[in-house]
Structure 1
């Protein structure tokens, strides 16, 4: 479904009664669902607006800070390179500088500082021999086999060649495809058996009832749609302003109908005086049951919209917003991240300045720096 901007303050439609005990089960469900939809519409609208502001602030405020941070890191590389060439350093200190330049700062040529590539290459460790690469690949493959056996239940053929990441990925994908094909085959066979199986009168009646209800649900929203279309048909208007108003309203009606948004159609009926409170309170239980099915679908669609908005923002910022996704929480998270990056820039700038003028400051820093231990890399590899 195409995204639509939800109203900031959606109109709440509910069935009123002197007391909640006077409402039937379907009437109570109708009120719960309309309240839930109104709340979700507000949440989608608020999150979308907050996400737009956050994207703008990321581009205007955070991206420049990231560039400043990379500029300071580039200064650090030059200072470390100069110290390596000019200062009297121990073997351990030189090893730490090599690690900082070749690994911790290896991304800088791709982040606006291509001039650093020769320096980084100068400190890069020598390439592994064929025997070393083969041993590392074998170690990684063994670990990955154990992981995928536990996580996905895949059984590896001892004769299968999974000695490289590419071969491992291809083998795993083949196994997953084979499992999916077998599952689909079993499902198709089960469906064929069910189709051949003679249905009891009770089962036939249940199927007919389900089909009738589905047809009634479709008819319920169509009835509302046709009533509004008949009322709003702009060709019957001679006044141009009224004709334009009805044309815009008719577009809203059509959009809501195509999306199956019953509550939006009911709001438009109320707005156009095509619906009153007495009509709502006197709806038959069967009609309410059909309405409630549509309202549940609309609520699920709004939940999916909110999740999609959260996913898109997470992909943009690299942060997770499924918890604490309120606009105020987004604002606090951004301010915290911005403040932390500003503090990191100030600290790095001060350290680089000290390293430039005082070799003792650099030695003190290198004494506290620990080279990360080598490992086999990430525990999971993407399969697509």
Structure 2
């Protein structure tokens, strides 16, 4: 079987040097920036590919494991409920069993296991109307106390005066009121600043300031013209309407799309690569570029480096949001694979352990007693229960 051809690599945009001909500062900067862009493009491409594969594997391999794990947890809840009613357990064992049920598995109600609600209500009955009313009154009183403390803080720190008619009875309503007051204050400040600016007499720039402004404007125009010159050269060469051969016409149409996309994105290096690829320029042309032209090029390349670095950070943040982990867990394809294997292995072990516990404890009271003996009820204030389920 013939090997699949590898994808063509982009032309290397690099100013060559020899031992007898050292590069200038701008030429060295051009080569350094070109290399950095190529490296970033490769890293981003590899990261996107690996991230796509990871998302697919999570859906195809990890989500089914999670479903199996939660199904087993639901079975464990039903088994504990039956054991509570049928096994001869001590008072301490029953207390541990109820604590385990209510603290280790209550999240299953939010995962679609509605049939378990009756079991949880059995061990933690809903509040009566009177209890609910008392709890609501206590919460309202606590909210009012917190709101008063926050009012004092905002009055002292920000000088905010509260309208007696404003509803700030809860911390949320108070925060919304404060946010609106601060926003109104900012708008007033901006209006006053704008009015002051309008009243301020227009002063002419000094000769030095004007010269600097003119130089900056000329630099921006030169940079724009540098990219446009490359773009127009490629457009003229690739214009499909001048091509009689249909296959070649399609090829040029696709290339022209790449050229237009690169031009709109100010991607100088992409345009230079295409010029090299299409033999519109050669390495000697790059070597003979004037220093002023190189400065314009390097300004654009630095901008492209910054944009690629921002894109790389964005890709990492998006994947981090998907996995729920800090970006350094999935910062590279190798790290993604390692973290996924670790997560999958950990969940697989949990599933296997839970399968054993459900079977043993559901059939043998002694096994459940042994399990409950090892279980510890956390004291209030020790934080969330770290379950092995």
- TM-score normalised by length of structure 2: 0.81
RMSD: 3.4
Cα distance in 1 between the residues matched to 2:95 and 2:197: 65
Write out aligned runs for 1:139-218 (5 A): 164=170, 166-171=172-177, 173-174=179-180, 177=183, 181=187, 196-218=202-224
Change (3 A) 1:14 1:69: same
Contact 1:99 1:371 in 2 (8 A): no
Change (3 A) 1:245 1:39: same
Change (3 A) 1:262 1:272: same
Change (3 A) 1:364 1:183: farther
Deviations 1:193-214 (A, max 9, x none): 9983442111111111111111
Gaps of 5+ in 1: 1-6, 378-384
Contact 1:37 1:302 in 2 (8 A): yes
Cα distance in 2 between the residues matched to 1:293 and 1:189: 37
Q: Which residue of 2 aligns with 1:12?
A: 12
1:280 counterpart = 2:280: no
Q: Which residue of 2 aligns with 1:78?
A: 78
Given the alignment, which residue of 229, 252, 270 partners 2:258?
252
Change (3 A) 1:98 1:161: farther
Structure showing greater radius of gyration is 2
Q: Which residue of 1 aligns with 2:3?
A: none
Q: Which residue of 2 aligns with 1:58?
A: 58
Q: Which residue of 2 aligns with 1:373?
A: 380
Name whichever of 278-287 and 221-230 sits farther off: 278-287
Structure 1 residue 321, shift from structure 2 partner: 2.5
Structure 1 residue 249, shift from structure 2 partner: 0.9
Cα distance in 2 between the residues matched to 1:93 and 1:131: 35
Deviations 1:238-277 (A, max 9, x none): 1112111111111111111111111000000001111111
Contact 1:213 1:290 in 2 (8 A): yes
Structure 1 residue 114, shift from structure 2 partner: 2.2
Q: Which residue of 1 aligns with 2:115?
A: 115
Name whichever of 173-182 and 250-259 sits farther off: 173-182
Q: Which residue of 1 aligns with 2:272?
A: 266
Contact 1:154 1:175 in 2 (8 A): no
Cα distance in 1 between the residues matched to 2:189 and 2:196: 11
Change (3 A) 1:190 1:333: farther
Q: Which residue of 1 aligns with 2:387?
A: none
* 3-state SS in 1 of match to 2:271: helix
Change (3 A) 1:287 1:243: same
Contact 2:320 2:330 in 1 (8 A): no
Cα distance in 2 between the residues matched to 1:140 and 1:124: 29
Structure 1 residue 374, shift from structure 2 partner: 5.2
Q: Which residue of 2 aligns with 1:380?
A: none
Change (3 A) 1:180 1:77: farther
1:224 counterpart = 2:230: yes
Contact 2:316 2:330 in 1 (8 A): no
Deviations 1:77-118 (A, max 9, x none): 111212222334455544443343334322223324222122
1:305 counterpart = 2:349: no
Contact 2:11 2:274 in 1 (8 A): no
Structure 1 residue 190, shift from structure 2 partner: 8.7
Q: Which residue of 2 aligns with 1:382?
A: none
- TM-score normalised by length of structure 1: 0.82
Cα distance in 2 between the residues matched to 1:195 and 1:372: 71
Cα distance in 2 between the residues matched to 1:300 and 1:334: 30
